[in-house]
Chain A
């Protein structure tokens, strides 16, 4: 069987599909499939250049003077940081509180929000998965139904409602609603609580632990990986969110980075605006790049998980 595989591999790249987990290969003079691998690696590398090129161009462009930004030269003739200085000054003039303020707003509307959202969602997920209470199925269906409602249907009434609640003057309109948990997270975590055998929680209960105690000290540690994944994905989603903040944050003092960057860019008209918008964009990407670099395995893993389930 192995020989067939090797032979097949040599013949055509597509056959790699058949391989699945790597078989342990004995030493050979010429590695079969090597040529195919080299070709595929070259093709994938070319593709990767296309994928990464916009980022590369962006980084280099922020070090060009404005007049050079639309030239076909990739590297700046003369490296300089005036884009960053210009961006900083513009924010100080126009965004009362400056760029730092925008960064702070983004942190404020993501980190604590995600933390509270996850905890609240975890409690609900546990209840739906492990507790038996009246009306559970109806409440679950209610949650299910809310997932079907497109954001565009409720976004303008929400904006009005938040305005009435005096939330749109500050950042609270994009914070408080999320304190009540996220339906998607509840569904996701519920699957994990489901997979924990009842005997574990029952053992804890017999030892005299209450529901809350059982949940926090026995079940929660077991689903920690899933919770971490959800927290990371939720952080990325919140950090990048644009339409929600655009509708719900009306005071520029409380603009998050995507709003600030979009305002800076001003439709991308002039040579003045583009370099500083790129500089601000680049800084706004840094936290995501860091999170992605640190947790890439978890993030990629969550996709594989959803594919296998779906």
Chain B
């Protein structure tokens, strides 16, 4: 569900945006075509209704049972002290009104929660860095030379690997007496607390995320580069523009839609960060609880038996994600209109 299923998730998210536009575009013609189709197919219409519903019914049942019900429970639980050991409507589950909300906004849990949100953003620093590295990688991988295909695959490899497995490797590598400090020692750098200081942990997680994600970013940019206009670049060359100018004035603007898409989907993924810091820093969340992200806070309430508080934390996070989605939809619509 997390960044591991990056591909399918990204594809899905992307398809969803497409579909949203499509539904809008599609609805009026469908209505208009209604009577005509009916005439054409005549008596089959009722059969089509039945078959259509039959085919989508598992999907709909699944959504109602496994998404809609938990969703409603999540909303209701905001107002309850719900331990999760009994039902939401059990007498033991007590009404707290705005108690949980107050707790997050300025109350008992505020410090823990907002620190977790801050940590989440600390782990998002890798996003712009990864985009820049990915762009340069893509420019290199877009050359017409032997072996680029191999490079594209190799750089992407860490992205499909089990997050648990690769994070454990990073943990072993970045340990105080691990290989990285050993190697740094050879060039005279003192051992650094990669996992035992807050800065070190933030750095290690960010590096891990860049390492995992940069191949995917590069591949997306490579695909985008195929559509950059060659005429424009040649014209600029004849005019004596430097390669740097061409990159900044022609190539990057042409890649803007993909850049924006990668940034938005990357941000949504980053806001839901959990796996890497949690596995790397463990159940104790590391120094200063730096490993606890917003999702980590929600997860932690599972052990603390406070599902109502978890719901508030999750909904604040969801609200941030909705804002990002809204901005994306607005920008996409504006671009389409232009």
Are A and B co-members of a single complex?
yes
Indicate if the CB atoms of B151 and A48 lie closer than 8 Å. Answer: yes
Chain B: residues with Cβ within 8 Å of the partner, total of 141
Judged by a CB distance under 8 angstroms, whether B99 is at the interface is: no
Who on chain A is nearest to B27 by CB? A137
Q: Is the CB of B237 within 8 A of A15?
A: yes
* Highest count of chain B CB atoms <10 Å: which of A70, A212, A274: A70
State A256–B90 Cα separation when bound (angstroms): 33
Mark out the residues of chain B between 272 and 287 whose CB falls within 8 Å of any chain A CB in the assembled complex: 272, 274-275, 279, 282-284
Report which of A139, A141, A304, A306 forms a contact with B56, defined as CB distance below 8 A: A139
Q: Using Cβ atoms and an 8 Å threshold, which residues of chain B touch A284?
A: 162, 164-165
Residues of chain B contacted by A228 (CB below 8 angstroms): none
A70 touches B179 (CB 8 A): yes
- Cβ-closest chain A residue relative to B75: A153
Greatest chain B CB density within 10 A among A247, A274, A282 is at A274
Choose from A57, A137, A180 the contact partner of B62 (Cβ within 8 Å).
A180
Would you call A268 an interface residue if the criterion is a C-beta within 8 Å of the partner chain's C-beta atoms? yes
How far is A268 from B153 in the complex, measured between Cα atoms in Å? Answer: 30
Q: Are A299 and B53 in contact (CB under 8 A)?
A: no
> Bound state CA distance, A176 and B71, in angstroms?
18
**A236 CB contact (under 8 Å) in B47, B160, B171:** B160
B139 close to A13 (CB less than 8 A): yes
Main secondary structure of the interface of B (DSSP, over half): helix
A240 touches B62 (CB 8 A): no
Query: For B158, what are the chain A residues with a Cβ–Cβ distance below 8 Å?
Result: 51, 54
Q: Which residues of B contact A70 (CB under 8 A)?
A: 172, 175, 177-179, 182
Instruction: Kindly state whether residue B129 has any CB partner on chain A within 8 Å.
Output: no
Report the separation of the CA atoms of residues A43 and B133 in the bound assembly, to the nearest whole angstrom. Answer: 13
CA–CA, A157 and B2, complex, Å: 17
Q: Give Cα distance in the complex from A181 to B62, angstroms.
A: 8
A:124-142 near B, CB below 8 Å: 124, 126-128, 131-137, 139-142
Chain B residue contacts of A17, Cβ below 8 A:
139, 142, 225, 228, 233, 246-247, 251
Q: Supply 11 A–B pairs (Cβ within 8 Å), ascending by A.
A: A13-B139, A70-B177, A71-B182, A127-B51, A134-B49, A148-B321, A156-B84, A160-B307, A181-B62, A304-B219, A307-B220
